[in-house]
Structure 1
Amino acid sequence: MKKFEEKTYETETIYQGKIVQLNIDSVTLPDGNTSKRELIKHPGAVAVIALTDEGKLVCVEQYRKPLEKSLVEIPAGKLEAGEDPKTCALRELEEETGYTSDDLELVTSFYTSPGFADEIVHLYFTDEIKTMEKRPDGDEDEFVELLEISLEEAEKLEKEQRIHDAKTAYAILYLKLRAAR
């Protein structure tokens, strides 16, 4: 038995969407009592820290409906069923930015909100990007604007809360630590 394990004895799927599934799990707690857990099932995602030859961070600005505002973020996207994360990372980089790379290196993977969701983000790095001759079509319902920003500009955007998501904040911290080596 895993430490503090909660055993599921019933799962009710409340909603099955294009991106997420909402389940209510009935669980037995380690002390024998029971409880309910609201869980979001997510296929996982990727994100890419991409630097231009000038050392600028490649970002996109897009509207985020849950927040009712636009954010500046590193390129990212949802994994398709059974898709290799590195393949997905390259696809998202190409679709969102028009850049490609032959050298994507896995930095880390992390859970975004483990208290209620199983979404995992696989974070990649490249400083070897090249412009594509023809940018592939992206998602039909996704509208993004390409930005290339210095680390100083990124920190300013963080203070202004225009960069306000965990994956991009992680990317900025990663670049600061990388520069300090």
Structure 2
Amino acid sequence: MSQNDDAHLREHQLSRTELLRGNFLHVVRDHVRMPDDGQATREFVLHPGAVMVVGLLDDGQVVLERQYRYPMQAVMVEFPAGKLDAGEASLVCAQRELLEETGYSAREWAFAGRLAPTIAYSDEVIDIWFARGLALGERRLDEGEFLDVFSATPAELHAWCFDGTVIDSKTLIGSMWLQNVLRGEWSLTWAGAQGAAAAGESAP
């Protein structure tokens, strides 16, 4: 499948209006030209990008979090994750978020892939990182951040994805990646921080 064949599907921006610039959300309305030369509006959230970390413990379990998500009015089970700071490299963000939220640092990292969790109304892209050789230190939670850190087996996580305990999209995708990696169907290239960073930067 080639993007060169997508001309009949593409929309082209004609103008942009800023609707909201809050502490977290940046919402815009674009006026676009459609493939048939008609016009329409598209309202969506601009996002700086984010990372998610699948942390593998030496005993085969994975590092997870329980965090209250106000829009959902519920506590969610998730992999550690967070958004990129301005100018921050993907792996640097992954290392920072893993340490701040869980207290773990990792000896080796592997870039797995990318996911776009809300393509209808946001340009957010999340980089998926795997980490192993974990060493536990002290968490450095942001002010006003409250979450529990725990571990579970991949089988437990898979069961929670199936029974609806886990509904967070990035964690569902992370569980799928983990399952395929453990089965040997998908491969990862492990490296120290420098080599892993290069692999992440060169990914499409």
* 1:158 alignment partner, one of 148, 158, 161: 161
Correspondence for 2:146: 143
Deviations 1:11-62 (A, max 9, x none): 1101012222110111111111110101110011000000111010100100
User: What is the identity, as a one-letter code, of the residue corresponding to 1:52?
Assistant: L
Whole-angstrom CA distance in 2 between matches of 1:28 and 1:179 = 45
- Cα offset for 1:161? 2.4
2:79 corresponds in structure 1 to 74
- Does structure 1 conserve the Cα–Cα contact (< 8 Å) formed by 2:55 and 2:62? yes
Give the TM-score normalised by the residue count of structure 1: 0.93
Deviation at 1:156, TM superposition (A): 2.7
Could you say which residue in structure 2 is the equivalent of 1:56?
61
SS in 2 for 1:80: coil
Q: Which has the higher helix share?
A: 2
Matched, 1:98 2:103: yes
SS at match of 1:127: strand
User: TM-score normalized by structure 2?
Assistant: 0.83
Counterpart Cα distance in 2 of 1:178 and 1:114: 26
2: CA distance, partners of 1:88 / 1:48: 10
Q: 1:43 aligns with which of 45, 48, 57?
A: 48
Bigger drift between 109-118 and 41-50 goes to 109-118
The answer to whether the Cα contact below 8 Å between 2:107 and 2:132 also exists between their aligned partners in 1 is: no
Q: State the distance in 2 between where 1:5 and 1:173 align.
A: 30
Q: Secondary structure at the match of 1:9?
A: strand
Distance 1:19 1:105 in 2: 29
Structure 2: state its 5+ residue gaps: 185-204
Count of matched residue positions in the alignment of Structure 1 and Structure 2: 179
Show the counterpart of 1:179: 182
- Cα offset for 1:160? 3.9
Alignment pair present for 1:85 and 2:97: no
Q: Which residue of 2 aligns with 1:169?
A: 172
Letter in 2 for 1:37: R
* CA contact 1:70–1:162 (8 Å) conserved in 2: no
Aligned residue number for residue 114 of structure 2: 109
| 8 A Cα contact 1:58 1:146, kept in partner | yes
User: How far apart are residue 5 of structure 1 and its match?
Assistant: 2.4
Residue 26 of structure 2 corresponds to residue 21 of structure 1: yes
2:17 aligns to what? 12
Letter aligned with residue 149 of structure 2: L
Q: Is the 8 A contact 1:19 1:43 kept in 2?
A: no
- For each residue in 1:136-173, what CA deviation from the matched residue of structure 2 results, as whole angstroms up to 9, or x when unmatched? x2221211101100112112322342311121111211
CA RMSD of aligned residues (A): 1.5
